[in-house]
């Protein structure tokens, strides 16, 4: 998407003002705070154009505008650059990484540090040494008495089966059509991503086998169960609940539900972690639907010789440059410390 210089300047100013104040931004605010040398009417026209492009939205008719998830993605792509951390923070990171090489102890200290420095949730997870498995294919085999066996084959050679009681008897052709439909959605995804995407994707599909595919989707937690995984380290519930977004009871409930089931969050993190790099997931970028109101900044790391990931979970109204710099700095420090052992 192309933006004019005027659109870029006003868009950047609006996002940064909203991140700072956690309130909708009006044309008058842009003039006052950023000295935008344009009339209010001109600024409103630009804001309206940015809204039509899907980058901004107006929460209430009389209110100013706030960025959408696509708007935050555009802002990150255009303007998010690493920032220099204060010397005192760098020293705190160094001290935390030197205290112990025990995996659990190190992760606990690191996620507490990320939470306290970002005022969001810090997360950390030790990964299995084996590569994360992906779904290779799904087959649906007809059984007697309106039942079917779901056979899920993973690319690491593991085969899982689950017997499904169908709503009514169906023919082999229907079962094969359902399997094709499911495979189009879940193949080459991790079990976690398969669970998350299947129901969402089926909402936009139809045709033969769709009803059976929906019945499989209702059993997704068993059909696409994860293998054993180390516990996710999570710190910062107090910090993130101090953010203005969570004065809204709906947002607060979604946050509590997410933190109450760290195993789901851990599976979603594994889906997108990349060794030696930091990635940003905004809203629906995540494979887990429960993460859609949030953003994640995650990086692969080395935890005393064990591969892992660390990150920051927060509202979409996040200080992305700071979060990226924090996560990258800590991950780099962990890799350096592991290399010296």
> For 148-163, how does the pLDDT look when each residue is reduced to its tens digit (9 = 90+)?
999 999 988 888 888 8
Given this model, what pLDDT does residue 136 score? 93
Could you count the other beta carbons within 10 Å of the beta carbon of residue 157? 8
Task: Kindly tell me if the per-residue pLDDT of 341 is higher than 60.
Answer: no
Given this model, what pLDDT does residue 140 score? 93
> For 103-137, how does the pLDDT look when each residue is reduced to its tens digit (9 = 90+)?
888 899 999 999 999 999 999 988 766 667 889 99
Given this model, what pLDDT does residue 338 score? 65
Given this model, what pLDDT does residue 206 score? 87
For range 73-96, the mean pLDDT: 92
Given this model, what pLDDT does residue 199 score? 84
- How far is Cα 17 from Cα 128, in angstroms, rounded to an integer? 42
Given this model, what pLDDT does residue 133 score? 83
For range 262-278, the mean pLDDT: 72
CA–CA distances in Å: residue 299 to residues 189, 269, 286: 20, 10, 15
Per-residue pLDDT band at 2 (split at 50, 70, 90): confident
Given this model, what pLDDT does residue 181 score? 94
Output 35 or 43, whichever has higher pLDDT.
Answer: 43
Identify the helix (H) or strand (E) that includes residue 297. Answer: strand 294-303
- Which of the residue ranges 39-43, 174-178, 284-288 has the most confident prediction, judged by mean pLDDT? 174-178
**pLDDT above 90: percentage of residues in the chain:** 44
Given this model, what pLDDT does residue 242 score? 87
Task: Kindly tell me if the per-residue pLDDT of 337 is higher than 70.
Answer: yes
Given this model, what pLDDT does residue 103 score? 83
Strand spans (E) along 157-293:
159-165, 233-235, 278-282
Domains of the chain and any CATH numbers:
5-79 (1.10.10.10), 87-128+228-340 (3.30.450.40), 135-223 (3.30.390.60)
Contact 157, 265 (CB under 8 A): no
pTM, two decimals, is 0.74
Could you give the 3-state DSSP secondary structure of residue 237?
Answer: helix
């Amino acid at each position: 998407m192309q933006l004019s210089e005027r659109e870029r300047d006003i868009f950047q100013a609006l996002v940064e003002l909203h991140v700072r104040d956690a309130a909708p931004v009006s044309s008058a605010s842009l003039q006052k705070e950023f000295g935008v040398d344009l009339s209010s009417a001109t600024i409103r026209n630009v804001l309206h154009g940015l809204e039509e492009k899907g980058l901004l939205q107006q929460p209430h008719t009389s209110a100013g505008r706030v960025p959408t998830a696509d708007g935050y993605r555009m802002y990150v792509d255009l303007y998010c650059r690493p920032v220099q951390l204060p010397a005192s923070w760098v020293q705190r990171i160094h001290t935390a990484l030197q205290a112990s090489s025990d995996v659990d102890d190190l992760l606990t200290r690191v996620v507490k540090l990320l939470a306290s420095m970002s005022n969001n949730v810090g997360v950390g997870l030790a990964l299995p040494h084996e590569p994360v498995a992906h779904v290779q294919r799904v087959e649906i085999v007809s059984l007697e008495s309106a039942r079917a066996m779901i056979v899920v084959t993973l690319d690491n050679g593991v085969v899982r089966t689950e017997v499904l009681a169908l709503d009514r008897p169906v023919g082999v052709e229907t079962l094969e059509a359902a399997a094709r439909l499911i495979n189009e959605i879940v193949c080459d995804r991790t079990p976690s991503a398969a669970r998350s995407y299947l129901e969402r994707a089926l909402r936009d599909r139809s045709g033969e086998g769709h009803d059976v595919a929906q019945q499989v989707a209702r059993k997704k937690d068993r059909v696409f169960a994860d293998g054993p995984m180390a516990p996710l380290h999570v710190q910062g519930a107090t910090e993130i609940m101090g953010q203005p977004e969570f004065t809204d009871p709906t947002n607060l409930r979604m946050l509590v539900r997410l933190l109450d089931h760290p195993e789901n969050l851990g599976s979603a993190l594994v889906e997108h972690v990349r060794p030696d790099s930091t990635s940003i997931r905004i809203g629906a970028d995540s494979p887990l639907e429960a993460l859609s109101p949030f953003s994640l900044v995650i990086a692969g790391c080395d935890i005393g010789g064990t591969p892992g990931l660390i990150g920051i979970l927060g509202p979409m109204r996040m200080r992305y440059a700071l979060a990226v710099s924090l996560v990258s700095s800590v991950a780099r420090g962990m890799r350096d410390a592991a290399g010296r052992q």
